[in-house]
Chains A and B, each alone.
Chain A
C-alpha cells in the first residue's frame, strides 16, 4: 500500500490532491479511478494457468472449479455503515472439471466477498494483459474508467445463487418461430 487516489478532500497523511477528483456533470467530485493498470511480476501462460486451476481443484478435493470469462458489472459497499463487501455479476461462467470432461457453461451465479480477503488468495496471473473500458458509478455519478489486468487464478472465491424469478415464460411462441404461421410481411 503506497498511496490513494486523491481529490481535494485531504486524508490524514495525504494532504494533496493527485488529480483524481472526478464527477459526472452536476455532482460533487470525489476521488475516483482513472486508468487502473494491474501488473504482476510472476506470470505464467494461460495454458499453464488452466493446468494450475485443475491442480488446485484436485488438491482441494472439489468436483469442479469455475472459469469466469466475462462479467456484466459489479459493485462494492465502501461506507462504514455497511459491511465492506463486493458483488460481481458474471455473464459467462464455465465449470471446469478435473477429469478432463469438456467445460460446461452455467448460469445464475454471482461472486461475493470482501476485497482484501479475496485479493490475497491470488496464486498466479496470466501473461496477457487485457483492457476493460467502461463507466463506473459512485457518489459523484458515472465516470468513464479503464482497467487493465492479466487473467487471475485465485485459490478460493465465494459464489452465490442469483436472484431468480417465478414469472411464467410467454404463453405463445415468438411470432417468427411459430409452427402455425399467422400473417407475415407482404
Chain B
C-alpha cells in the first residue's frame, strides 16, 4: 500500500515537472544551474509541502510559490578632489522565496501585522555565487520551508484581524497572470573598455577649483545583474539588467553658517554610455560654480505668486508628484493605523485611485508610461524593461488622456480600479514589487515656446503687482546632494512629513524682476502645496520637453511615496520622465531652510586647481 502511494506521488511529480523540463531544453548551453535547481525544488514544494495543523482536517498547502534570485556584479569607484577614495568590485547572489497560503482572493500577503514587516528574516538571503546546483537547492529547500511556515502564520493572523473588522475589502489579494518564459543568454560584463579609476580621479579633480567646497564625492557605479524568477504558475525568467551612474555630491557653508549642497548625476543603460571625462568635468564645474553662487546668494523670503519651473526642474517635480498618484494597487492591510498615517504623510497614498474618468490634469495633457521606449528625440531613456519583477510582460499604459484619468500603474496586487497587472510591478533588489514608473511622458496639446512661456510668466507677475517672481531652474535630490546619512535623516525628519501634502525642495531658484528682467539667485527655499491638485490648474505648458533620468528609491517607507524620487544608483530603480517647462499661476514658497552651523575657524588649506 505504502509503495503504491509513493508510486502515485512519483507520477504526479513527473507530470508537474514536464513543462519545466521542456522549457529547460531551450536554455543556451552554459554553466548556469540556477533555474534547474529552482525547477526541481519547486516540484517538491508544489506536490509535497504541507503542514498538518491540529484540529484542522485539511493540511495547509501553498497555492503559490515564487523563487527570485538576483545575481549582481558591481564596480564602484569613489573619488574626491582628484584622489581615489575607494575602488571595489563585488559579485553577489541574493535570493528571496515567497510562499502564499490561501487563495488569489484572500491570502497571506498584503498584511502588516503587529510585528511589522518581516521581510528579510527567513526566506531571503545570500547564496553561493558559482551558479551551482546542490548548494542552491539546499538553500531553496530551507528558504521555501521557512517562507511557507511564515505564510501559514501570517495568514492565520490576518484572518484573525479581518474577522474583527466590520467590512472586508472586496479587492483580491493577488491577480492571476499567464506564465511567461524568457531565458536570455548570460551576459558577460564589460568593465575594461575604460579606466574607471582614472576617470574618477580626473573628473573629481574639477572640484579642486572650489576651495570653499568642504567635502565632495564623485561616485562611478556600474552594475550588471541577472534576474531569475521561477513561479509555481510556470513562469521562468532569466533576464539581464544593467545600468551605470556617475553621481556627485558636494557641500559648503554660506557665510552665515547655513549648510548648502549641490549634486551632479548622469545615468546610462550600460557603462560605455556614460559621459566622458570632459563632459563630467563640465557638469561638475557648473554644479560647483552654482554652489559658490548659492553661498553668496541672499536667503529666500516667503513668497506667494506665479512660479515657472524650467523643464530641468519640472520633470523631477512630476516624478515626485505623479509617482504615488499613478500607483493603482491597494496598500497593504495594516494592523495599526499608525502605518497608514505614516504612509499618507509621506505621500504614499494615491489621490487618483477611484477617480477613473475624472479630470485630474489640464484638459490638454496626456501622460503615458512606456517601458518599451528606448529614447526621446535621440536622448536615451533608462527606465525600460521587457518583463517586470513579477514576471509580467511590460505594457505601455495611457494614464491620463486629455486631462482625464484613464489608467493606473498596476502590479499583481489589485486595486480598486483594476484587478490586472500591466507589467509595472518593479523592484530593484528583491524588495516587494510595487507599481513603479518606467519611462513617463508628460505632453500637452497646447504648448508655448520657452520665450512665450517666460513672457506669459512675467505678464502674470505684473498683473499680480509683484516686484519679482520665482523661476526654479533645478530641484534638489537630497539622496545625492547630502553626503552623510545623518544629514539625510535629519532632513527627512524635518521635511519628510510634508512630502505628502506637497512640500518640494528646489535647489536653484531665481528671482526675476518683471520691469528690468534682472535675475537674482536666492538660496534655501521650500515650495508648499505642490501636489497633484496643484497640477490640475497649470497656467501654461512649454514645448521644450526635457529627458530627466533618475533613480527611484526602493527603501522601506520611500518606495511608492513622493520620497521615492529621491534615489541613488545604490538603492535605485532606473526611471525617466520626459516633461516640458511648467508655469504655475500661484504657489507658496517658504524661505530659509537649514540650521546655521559655526564656520570653520581656519580658512581652507591651499589647494591648486590642477593636480
A175 vs B50: C-alpha distance when bound (angstroms): 16
Partner of A178, one of B17, B44, B134: B44
B157 on the A face (CB < 8 A): no
Q: A176 near B36 (CB under 8 angstroms)?
A: no
Knowing A170-B141, A171-B51, the reply to whether A182 touches B40 (Cβ < 8 A) is: yes
A185 vs B48: C-alpha distance when bound (angstroms): 21
B599 on the A face (CB < 8 A): no
A110 → B minimal CB distance (Å)? 25
A132 vs B49: C-alpha distance when bound (angstroms): 45
B584 on the A face (CB < 8 A): no
A35 → B minimal CB distance (Å)? 34
Partner of A186, one of B36, B45, B50, B137: B36
The secondary-structure label for the interface of chain B is helix
B73 on the A face (CB < 8 A): no
A183 on the B face (CB < 8 A): yes
Q: B148 near A171 (CB under 8 angstroms)?
A: yes
Q: B141 near A172 (CB under 8 angstroms)?
A: yes
Q: B145 near A183 (CB under 8 angstroms)?
A: no
Q: Nearest chain-B residue to A178 (Cβ)?
A: B44
Q: B17 near A185 (CB under 8 angstroms)?
A: no
Knowing A170-B145, A171-B145, the reply to whether A182 touches B43 (Cβ < 8 A) is: yes
B185 → A minimal CB distance (Å)? 19
B262 on the A face (CB < 8 A): no
Q: How large is the interface on A (under 10, 10 to 19, 20 to 34, 35 or more residues)?
A: 10 to 19
A168 on the B face (CB < 8 A): yes
Q: B10 near A175 (CB under 8 angstroms)?
A: no
A18 → B minimal CB distance (Å)? 37
A79 on the B face (CB < 8 A): no
A175 vs B42: C-alpha distance when bound (angstroms): 11
Partner of A172, one of B10, B13, B48: B48
B426 on the A face (CB < 8 A): no
The secondary-structure label for the interface of chain A is loop
Q: A180 near B9 (CB under 8 angstroms)?
A: yes
Chain A residues with Cβ below 8 Å from B134 are: 175-176, 185
A184 vs B39: C-alpha distance when bound (angstroms): 10
A4 vs B131: C-alpha distance when bound (angstroms): 53
Q: Kindly supply a per-residue 1/0 record for chain A positions 157-186, scoring 1 wherever the CB is within 8 Å of any chain B CB and 0 otherwise.
A: 000000000001011101110111011111
Residue with the greatest number of chain B CB neighbours at <10 A, chosen from A172, A174, A183: A183
Chain B residues with Cβ below 8 Å from A180 are: 6, 9-10, 13, 48
Report A79-98 residues with CB < 8 Å from chain B CB: none
Report B48-63 residues with CB < 8 Å from chain A CB: 48-51
A186 vs B36: C-alpha distance when bound (angstroms): 9
Knowing A185-B36, A185-B133, the reply to whether A172 touches B149 (Cβ < 8 A) is: no
Chain A residues with Cβ below 8 Å from B39 are: 183
Chain A residues with Cβ below 8 Å from B44 are: 172, 175, 178, 182
Partner of A174, one of B33, B45, B141: B141
Chain B residues with Cβ below 8 Å from A182 are: 13, 17, 40-41, 43-44
Q: Nearest chain-B residue to A175 (Cβ)?
A: B137
Q: Nearest chain-B residue to A179 (Cβ)?
A: B6
Q: A183 near B43 (CB under 8 angstroms)?
A: yes
B86 on the A face (CB < 8 A): no
Q: Nearest chain-B residue to A183 (Cβ)?
A: B40
A13 → B minimal CB distance (Å)? 41
Chain A residues with Cβ below 8 Å from B140 are: 175
Chain B residues with Cβ below 8 Å from A168 are: 149
B142 on the A face (CB < 8 A): yes
B138 on the A face (CB < 8 A): yes
A64 vs B48: C-alpha distance when bound (angstroms): 45
Chain A residues with Cβ below 8 Å from B142 are: 170
A30 vs B295: C-alpha distance when bound (angstroms): 44
Q: Kindly supply a per-residue 1/0 record for chain B positions 479-510, scoring 1 wherever the CB is within 8 Å of any chain A CB and 0 otherwise.
A: 00000000000000000000000000000000
Knowing A168-B149, A172-B145, A175-B138, the reply to whether A183 touches B36 (Cβ < 8 A) is: yes
A172 vs B43: C-alpha distance when bound (angstroms): 12
Partner of B141, one of A175, A179, A183, A184: A175
A61 → B minimal CB distance (Å)? 44
Q: A185 near B145 (CB under 8 angstroms)?
A: no
Q: Kindly supply a per-residue 1/0 record for chain A positions 136-176, scoring 1 wherever the CB is within 8 Å of any chain B CB and 0 otherwise.
A: 00000000000000000000000000000000101110111
A186 vs B33: C-alpha distance when bound (angstroms): 9
Q: Nearest chain-A residue to B16 (Cβ)?
A: A182
Chain B residues with Cβ below 8 Å from A185 are: 33, 36, 133-134
A171 vs B145: C-alpha distance when bound (angstroms): 7
Residue with the greatest number of chain A CB neighbours at <10 A, chosen from B9, B17, B44, B138: B44
Knowing A176-B138, A185-B36, A185-B133, the reply to whether A171 touches B49 (Cβ < 8 A) is: yes
Chain A residues with Cβ below 8 Å from B40 are: 175, 182-184
A23 vs B6: C-alpha distance when bound (angstroms): 60
Chain B residues with Cβ below 8 Å from A176 are: 134, 137-138
Residue with the greatest number of chain B CB neighbours at <10 A, chosen from A172, A176, A182: A182
B contacts, CB < 8 Å to A: 6, 9-10, 13, 17, 33, 36-37, 39-41, 43-45, 48-51, 133-134, 137-138, 140-142, 145, 148-149
A contacts, CB < 8 Å to B: 168, 170-172, 174-176, 178-180, 182-186
Across chains A and B, which 7 residue pairs bring their CB atoms closest together, nearest first? A183-B40, A185-B133, A170-B145, A175-B137, A182-B40, A182-B43, A182-B44
Q: List 30 A-B contacts (CB under 8 A).
A: A168-B149, A170-B142, A170-B145, A171-B49, A171-B145, A171-B148, A172-B44, A172-B49, A172-B145, A174-B138, A174-B141, A175-B41, A175-B44, A175-B138, A175-B140, A176-B137, A176-B138, A178-B44, A180-B9, A180-B10, A180-B48, A182-B13, A182-B40, A182-B44, A183-B17, A183-B37, A184-B40, A185-B36, A185-B134, A186-B36
Using A178-B44, A182-B40 as known contacts, list a sample of 16 further A-B pairs with CB atoms less than 8 Å apart, ordered by residue number in A: A170-B141, A171-B49, A171-B51, A171-B148, A172-B48, A172-B145, A175-B40, A175-B141, A176-B137, A176-B138, A180-B6, A180-B9, A180-B48, A182-B17, A183-B40, A184-B133
